[in-house]
Amino acid sequence: MTSHAAEGDTPRKATAASQIDKKPVSKVRKVAKVKPVDTRPSFGRVAGLHQSGDALDLRSSVALVIDQDTHEVLLRKNDQAVLPIASLTKLMTGLVISDANLPHSEMIAITQEDVDTEKGSSSRLAVGSVLSRGDLLHLALMSSENRAAHALGRTYPGGLSVFVKAMNDRAQGLGMGSTHYVEPTGLSSRNQSSAIDLAVLVGAAYNVPLLRELSTSPGREVAVGRRTLQYNTTNRLVKSPNWDIGLQKTGYISEAGQCLVMQTKVAGRKLIMVFLDSAGKLSRIADAERVRRWVETHNARNTVVSANSAG
């Protein structure tokens, strides 16, 4: 890979001419490149889903809360709308890897193919880094590591295309009729689903003990070459004493907005929560808190809070 000096870099050695010239030379500070903020509206905002109101004043344009045991719907809002799902994709990636029973101790190298060319996102897993399949799965689910997720799909028996087909086949087998995947990370806005389908996915993933364990892990140190990297969960609720979370995944790309799915226990009830296309970085967390307080206060059995459905 050819490296290019950033604009404003000073040369490493002075030239002969500059050594003769006695005029003071002002130092030029290196200015860190700031990645431009993607201000494009989400698909849900373009579709007008944020105009839908609801009794809890949620900031997410799509929401679904169901009782995992009885399948009662406690809250629904645009739950049939089909939208990009960002890194919620990685739950299906984890499910397909789990289904395959591949050796978790097998070492896998990150290659140039795993570098994000879709969004240009960064990663601490440099090309050439070697990790076990188990560690890649852990980082993908806990820290939403995109290169880790892509490497899992790339090294699947038959390659990436076979892996993506397995993702879609698994979705169809679960009855997720509104869901479609084109890659394993969620960086593509063509990975799309509905809240109804995602609740099914959460239920299926919850049945796999390893996915429960890895997705709710608060942090992990991973040895990469001579370095030890500390990775942490992307979901602050995992560390909160107010929450009992059995499985979770966060997601964000501009087209999807802020997303969150969880299996959790509230007021003695096992619930599956889905929040899509939330307006702000903390809004998905605030929405989950609103729902938790509402269930705790009203123990909302047999109550359905509804907004206009879309889709």
The closest alpha carbon to 97, from 252, 210, 238, belongs to 210
CA dihedral 162, 167, 172, 177 (to 10 degrees): -120
**Pairing between strand 83-84 and 192-193?**
antiparallel
CB atoms near residue 191 (< 10 Å): 27
CB atoms near residue 97 (< 10 Å): 28
Active-site residue set: 87, 90, 144
Alpha helices in the chain (DSSP H): 16-20, 43-46, 89-100, 133-142, 146-154, 160-173, 195-206, 209-215, 283-298
Give dist(CA 141, CA 132) in Å, integer: 14
Q: Which long-range contacts (CB under 8 A, 24 or more apart) does 46-54 make?
A: 47/81, 47/310, 49/78, 49/81, 49/277, 49/310, 50/277, 50/279, 52/77, 52/78, 52/307, 52/308, 52/310, 53/307, 54/305, 54/306, 54/307
Q: What is the largest CA-CA distance in the chain?
A: 86
Write out the H or E segment, with its range, that includes residue 108.
strand 107-109
Rounded to the nearest 5 degrees, what angle is found at the Cα of 154, between the Cα atoms of 186 and 214?
Answer: 60
Residue 169 class from Cβ within 10 Å (0-12 exposed, 13-18 middle, 19+ buried)?
exposed
Cβ–Cβ < 8 Å for 288, 60: no
